[in-house]
Structure formats: structure tokens, C-alpha cells
Structure 1
Amino acid sequence: MEKFKVPSRAEVSESNQGIFDNLEKGLGFVPNLYAYYAKNDTALADYLALQNRKSTLKAKEREAVNLVVSQINDCRYCQSAHTVLGKMNGFTEDQVLEIRGGSASFDDKLDALVKFTHSVTTNRGSATSESKEAFFAAGYSEANLIDVVIVVGDKTISNYIHNIAGFEIDFPLAAELVAEQV
């Protein structure tokens, strides 16, 4: 089986080298996922533009969506990265695990978002009537719905890339969910 290799700065295009330099300045390192995108001349910039677009969702809400989708798609890389980012956005370890399990009992509005995201992701773009009704009853709008689906798509792209390539996880490894947490 072919081993997928994360490219070094010297192995990517000049434009991607510039992005590497900016990531290094901003994050202190170039995450392996981003470096892997740089094997394609335009994918890294395209992905970062998608990921960094303006959204009606708060950063904490986007992290909740990222955690749910990464759990459903069984992407250990993204579970690990978004556990770190989720904590940076105010979630505790227990809250991160609960969100990955498909609920957020500690916050009613976030719980509706998590359950809606879970429904959209597990039903491949559809959602149950109950999850949609709860989402809107919690105060979310159709503009928010569109942003949730965009974040689901964004995270699914990364989940699939890592699940196929399987390169090293360069974040602290997220805890595995036990059966009662799922």
C-alpha cells in the first residue's frame, strides 16, 4: 500500500510556500492537513478561503459542527484538531466529548445545533423534521442553516482527505468515545 506523505515547504509551489509562511506566523506551525492540501497548487488556498469565510455562526458554534461531523466521519485527525480548537473556544473536555456524542445538554441552543448537525450529517444532507423544528425553535435562521451545511461540507472534505491519506496527527490525540457517549 502506498504511504501518503505530507510535503515539506520546499516540495510545494511558490504560492503554497507563501501560505505555509503565513500559517507558520499565525499558528506557529503548518498543520499536516494543510500541508497535504498543498500537494495541489490551488487546493490549500481554496480550502482556507472556504474555512475562513464570513459566517452567521459564532466560532464556538462552528467548532460544535466540526466536532459532530468529524466524529460521524470517524476522522481522528479532525477530532483531535477540533478538540484543541473547541477548548480554545471555551468548551471543557467533557463538553467536547458530549458534542462529539451528538448532544450538548449544557446549552439548549447549542444542543439544537448539535442535533441538527448530527441529523444532516448522518442522513447525508437530509435532516429529520424534529431536528429542523428544534433548530429553528432555538432561534436559528435559514441563513444559519446554510452556514451549518457549508461547515458540514468543509469538514467532510478534510475528514475524507485524512481518512484516505492517513498522515500523522500533529495535535494531541483526542479521546476515543466510549459506547455510552455516542
Structure 2
Amino acid sequence: MPNLPLLDKTTAPGPAADLLAQAEKKLGRLPNSFRAMANSPALLQAYLGLSGALAGGTLPAGVRDQLALTVAQYNGCSYCLSAHSYLGEHVAKVSPDELERARHATSADPHTAAVLGLADAIVRTRGHVGAEVLDKARADGVTDSEIAEIVGQVALNVLTNYFNVLSDVDIDWPVVVTV
């Protein structure tokens, strides 16, 4: 049983109802994670805003899903592993093989591998990566713009990982568990 109630457009407080309706219209469904976030309209608005802003960045959707898997695996968030495995495969069209690799911060694509390696270093060190890690990422083709964006993506995913683990919402995606 979830630790927070799951709200919908009819039970959410004022602004959260509008945010849920917008999210449902955009996604074609209303994930349990969003329904739990709706307990705080400010949180839901912040999540949707940051997620939307980063979606307009330089990292493609598939790489963002792969990065989300790297972070979710480390943080033990089965909800996010499930959501981003589904979205990565069915929306961003990333191969199941690549999605599995992403859980271990690797990829057959050298640039994606560099992005995931940096994201993994950031999450594991809580941002205290050394100059050598940044130098290696740059040598592997990661731009300064991408480095900044990777930090934003890690932060967004840590937020959702912690929220979903704490709220213990039921997984409403095909289930993938941490190992």
C-alpha cells in the first residue's frame, strides 16, 4: 500500500488537478508517481517543469531514459527502472540490450557510454567528481553543455527515485526490479 494517497484530477487540490490533467493529456495516461506527487502541487509543478525544460536540451530522449536507468539502478528504485525501461523501449525506441547495459552505466555507443559513466560518477560521489573524471568525459566527446545537463538529469532522477521509494507507489508499468 502506498505511503501517500494517489490523487486524480477530481481529488487533487486546486492547481494539482490542472497539472495532472495536462500530464495525462501529454502522456496519454496518468502514472501513479504523478498521482502521488499531486499531494504537493508545488512538487508536481517543479518536476514537470524541470523534466520539460531538460527534454528541450541536447540529450536525446533515449539517452535521458538510459541515464534514468543508470541512476535508478544505483538508487534501488524499481518504479523508475520499470517506467524508463518501458519508455526507453516503446517511446524512445532504445533496444532492450542497450536498456540493460544502461543499468550498469554502459552502452555500445561510445558517446552514450561516456554520458552514462559521468552520470554514474556523479550519483555515486554525490557530485564530488574529480577533474580527471570530467577530463575523461570531455576526451570522450561530452561537451560542457552536456555535462551541465547531465547534472540536471541526475538531480531530476534522484528526486523521482527518492520520491518513489519513499511513497512506495504501486508500479503501473511492466515491472523491472533492481538486482
Length-normalised TM-score, structure 1? 0.88
Contact 1:116 1:135 in 2 (8 A): yes
Q: Which piece of structure 1 moves more, 3-12 or 36-45?
A: 3-12
Q: Is the 8 A contact 1:112 1:131 kept in 2?
A: no
1:19 is displaced (CA, Å) by 1.9
Partner Cα distance (1:4, 1:175) in 2: 21
Aligned partner of 1:8: which letter?
D
**TM alignment of 1:159-170, pairs within 5 A:** 159-170=161-172
Distance 1:110 1:117 in 2: 10
Any idea what the Cα deviations from partners look like across 1:31-58, whole Å, max 9, x if unmatched? 1111111101321111100011032222
- Of 76, 79, 82, 2:78 maps to 76
Which of 151, 154, 172 is 1:152 aligned to? 154
The letter of the residue matching 1:44 is: L
| Rounded Cα–Cα distance in structure 2 between residues aligned with 1:62 and 1:96 | 11
Higher mean Cα deviation, 123-132 or 91-100?
123-132
Deviation at 1:73, TM superposition (A): 0.6
Report the identity percentage: 25
Q: Does 1:94 align with 2:106?
A: no
Structure 1, gaps ≥5 residues long: 178-182
Please state how far the C-alpha of 1:142 moved relative to its aligned partner.
1.4
d(CA) in 1 for partners of 2:96, 2:18: 34
Amino acid at match of 1:61: V
Cα distance between partner residues in 2 of 1:68 and 1:108: 16
CA deviations over 1:5-62 (Å, ceiling 9, x no partner): 2123222123221222222222221111111111013211111000110322222222
CA distance in 2, matches of 1:175, 1:162: 13
Alignment of 1:124-163 (within 5 A): 124-163=126-165
Query: How many residue pairs end up in the alignment?
Result: 176
Identify if the C-alpha distance between structure 1 residues 3 and 61 changes in structure 2 by more than 3 Å, giving closer, same or farther. Answer: closer
Q: Distance in 2 between matches of 1:175 and 1:2?
A: 17
The unaligned stretches of length 5 or more in structure 2 are none
The amino acid that maps onto 1:97 is E
Q: Which residue of 1 aligns with 2:39?
A: 39
AA at the equivalent of 1:50: L
User: What residue is the counterpart of 2:20 in the other structure?
Assistant: 20
* 1:122 is aligned to 2:91: no
- One-letter amino acid of the counterpart of residue 45, structure 1: Q
Cα deviations across residues 88-138 of structure 1 (Å, max 9, x unaligned)?
A: 21211121111101211x111111111111111111112255542331112
Pairwise CA RMSD of aligned residues? 1.9
Residue equivalent to 2:52: 52
